Amino acid sequence: MPPITKETALEYHKLNGVPGKISIVPSKPLDTQTDLGLAYTPGVAFPVLEIARDPNLAYEYTDKGNLVAVISNGTAILGLGDRGALASKPVMEGKSVLFKKFADVDSIDIEVDTHDPEKIIQVVELIGKTFGGINLEDIKSPECFYIERELQSRMDIPVFHDDQHGTAIILGAALINALEISGKNIKDIKIVFSGAGAAAIASANHFVKIGVPRENIWMCDIKGLVYKGRKEEMFPEKEIFAQGEHTETLSEVLEGADMFVGLSVANIVTPEMIMRMRQAPVIFAMANPDPEIKFDLAKQTRPDAMIGTGRSDFPNQVNNVLGFPFIFRGALDVRASAINDQMKLAASEALSALAKEPVPAPILKAYGLNHLEFGPDYIVPKPLDNRVCLWEAPAVAKAAMESGVSRITIDLEKYEQQLIDRLKID
């Protein structure tokens, strides 16, 4: 992959004299006077009256059922911090592109220029009828927890904060497969987090739902261990994972750990620290672009480790694009009212299962590889694997139907073929 520089990135975003990365394309013909009359006045009056009579018909006569709003206030943009709502627009447009490219979901970015959680909630609630789902993005913690929770309680469409749950779902798949490879028992493992923001807390909660005892999860932030009774930089969602009675360093907490999850900053983990972990450790250092410990250094120090990062140039990339497009695809296609825990667990399990399947030649070619099979260097699928949608979206749709949040029931066998046709998968 050629290096990504400031110049190449900026040129890409204005390529061919077209600013940005998204556009709106009509889905119906507009070539004749009749087409115009059907698309607008007078023909448009008929679906208006039908939807006024039965709001669910908006799914039949508009793009609502395939339309997601990508919403941010720019307070936690990637690893760049609070750069303002407008500065978040390139990222949100990028999210919209990924929705369309990977799962044929239409989406539009909406940047809300306020730090006030109540105003964000009000804006999203008031425009919510337009969409089949809401993807919250790059909103800082702890406000993000309240915003998502409050919106989901007020709205009858999925509200999904991807910074939390996207990372959690892919890490959940990695955890399931790492345990299978290492032969360790989920009830006995010790997991240490570096970072206690949205992604870390959501991942820890997801691990608990998978079966990790809460008391086996140890969380550290910039102040060290999140311990019981600590007053500095605490909030309720973090307090749930408080362990011990006094402060400890990350190095001390890593003693005897089976898994390290880094969602913090670069180069804070040393070789000496991971030497304190147990045999066959799992090290997911996901700070971007530079992880908590460099991949090569971690591998040299612990050859017995399973190692993952957030980067595409190393094995086991944890990339949210493995989650959100297909989770929303499945949720939208059964007209779900929420994305609940059962759907998130189903997504993790689907990704876990797919990683055990033989990898087709086109995927190997896309990554310049001759061979790839389930094992320490391949415990989650590759983001460019076009089979992900065929495994994950039906699993999510099935879980939605079984858990009672779907508005319609679909035939899952027919649904898989519909996805193949829709996405033009060979």
Q: Report, as residue numbers or ranges, the catalytic residues.
A: 40, 95
Contact 137, 69 (CB under 8 A): no
Question: What distance in Å separates the CA atoms of residue 211 and residue 184, rounded to the nearest whole number?
Answer: 13
Residue 4 has phi, psi (to 5 degrees) of -90, 115
Nearest to 425 by CA among 382, 384, 395: 384
Classify burial at 41, counting beta carbons within 10 Å of its beta carbon; exposed 0-12, middle 13-18, buried 19 or more: exposed
Question: What distance in Å separates the CA atoms of residue 245 and residue 247, rounded to the nearest whole number?
Answer: 7
Classify burial at 45, counting beta carbons within 10 Å of its beta carbon; exposed 0-12, middle 13-18, buried 19 or more: exposed
Beta partners for 283?
Answer: 260, 307
Contacts by 120-128 with C-beta closer than 8 Å and gap 24+?
Answer: 120/71, 120/73, 120/147, 121/147, 121/150, 121/151, 121/154, 124/69, 124/71, 124/151, 124/155, 124/159, 125/151, 125/154, 125/155, 127/69, 128/69, 128/155, 128/157
Strands (E), 29-81: 67-72
Contacts of 149 (CB under 8 A, 6+ apart): none
DSSP 258: S
Numbers of helices and strands, H then E, in the chain: 18, 10
Contacts of 254 (CB under 8 A, 6+ apart): 192, 260, 273, 274, 276, 277
Nearest to 343 by CA among 174, 168, 139: 168
Question: What distance in Å separates the CA atoms of residue 416 and residue 389, rounded to the nearest whole number?
Answer: 9
Question: What distance in Å separates the CA atoms of residue 148 and residue 160, rounded to the nearest whole number?
Answer: 7
